[in-house]
Structure 1
Amino acid sequence: MNQPLAEALTHLRMGNQSFLITFYEEQRDHFARWARRQHQLEPAAAHELLRSVLVDFYDQVIDGRVTKLPPDLRNYLYGMAQEHIQAQKTTAELPKVEAGRRQQLLRVFTQLGTDCQQVLMYFYFRGYNFEKVAGKMGFANATVARLQKANCLRKLIELRARAIEEDGASAATV
């Protein structure tokens, strides 16, 4: 990884992922040892986590959330991995009712069209404003993005209401 960091960032923004591929190849074994010591992860799970973190980092660079590479990229990415693991543990510790509600919402979410899923993901999970959502989705302006988000959210709520009714009806027949 002897490529200057500023040059690597420029290449990443242009879609050249060779910097991340090289990082993955060089750090994969070290990361697996770290993940095993710190979080008792098997090597295959650690490798998948590292790939996921690198994809998230790449998305952050492309979206403009990362404007300069951190001085110690390895520590930065390991910190991102730590956050992923903490998020998984938090989700795993949810009460049964809340976990069931989230699973139902996820099933309903997958019934939405791809465009609706993407609009909602950009707005709620990535925190994009309507102008950025419009740019990402190819909408004419922020108002169109706002209307699309509202329409998609309405569809999600309707699908969830139907799912609740269906679950209630199936529970009553048992």
Structure 2
Amino acid sequence: MNQPLAESLTQLRVGDQSLLLTFYQQHRNHFARWARQHHNLQSPAAHELLREVLLDFYDQVVDGRITRLPLDLRAYIYGMARQQVSTTFVIQQAQVLPKAEAQRRQKLLQAFMQLSADSQQVLLFFYYRGYNFVTMAGKMGYANANVARIQKNNCLRKLYELLSRSDAVASV
């Protein structure tokens, strides 16, 4: 990285992902070894994890959640990967659920999959990624935060209706 940090951050904000592509190419093999040693991930899974983390980092820069480029980008990216792996592990441990809860979640997932792609994206942005309405409006191309809020409410209403219909069909 021979360019100034501020210039790199500015380039990322305007959509130039060459910094991330270069990082991926230079650190891909080392990251795979690190992930295998510390988290027992095979190379394909490690490469996918690195891509996901780099995309998440890019989203954070574009959204303004990262305002200064870390001095040690590699350590920062590896830390993000470590956090994502530990979060995934906790989720996997929590997946041993009682049968009733597992069935409820399965019905919810089936109803969610019946929603349009835009509705799914809105709900994922709000509930999974934790985006606020301003960020969601920017990501989805809505005019303002109120439109994003209304769209989220409409998506939830559709999901609730799908769940109600599936419950009504199941009780018949």
Taking structure 2 as the reference length, the TM-score comes to 0.86
| Partner of residue 93, structure 2 | 93
The offset of 1:103, in angstroms, is 4.2
Structure 2 CA distance for partners of 1:49 and 1:164, relative to 1, 3 Å:
farther
SS at 2:44 equivalent = helix
Q: Is the 2:137–2:143 contact (alpha carbons within 8 Å) kept by the matching residues of 1? A: yes
| Partner of residue 50, structure 1 | 50
- Identity among equivalent positions (%) equals 60
Aligned positions of 1:64-103 closer than 5 A? 64-94=64-94, 95-97=96-98, 98-103=101-106
Q: How many residues align?
A: 169
Confirm whether residue 158 of structure 1 aligns to residue 164 of structure 2: no
Confirm whether residue 109 of structure 1 aligns to residue 126 of structure 2: no
| Partner of residue 128, structure 1 | 131
Report the Cα distance in structure 2 between the residues aligned to 1:23 and 1:5, rounded to whole angstroms. 14
- Structure 2, unmatched stretches of 5+, are none
Alignment deviations for residues 115-150 of structure 1 (CA, whole Å, 9 cap, x no partner): 212222222223233233333333333332222211
The offset of 1:11, in angstroms, is 0.9
Q: Is the 2:63–2:135 contact (alpha carbons within 8 Å) kept by the matching residues of 1? A: no
Report the Cα distance in structure 2 between the residues aligned to 1:99 and 1:59, rounded to whole angstroms. 32
The offset of 1:160, in angstroms, is 2.5
Moved more, 116-125 or 49-58: 116-125
Moved more, 1-10 or 68-77: 1-10
Report the Cα distance in structure 1 between the residues aligned to 2:103 and 2:88, rounded to whole angstroms. 16
Report the Cα distance in structure 1 between the residues aligned to 2:25 and 2:86, rounded to whole angstroms. 25
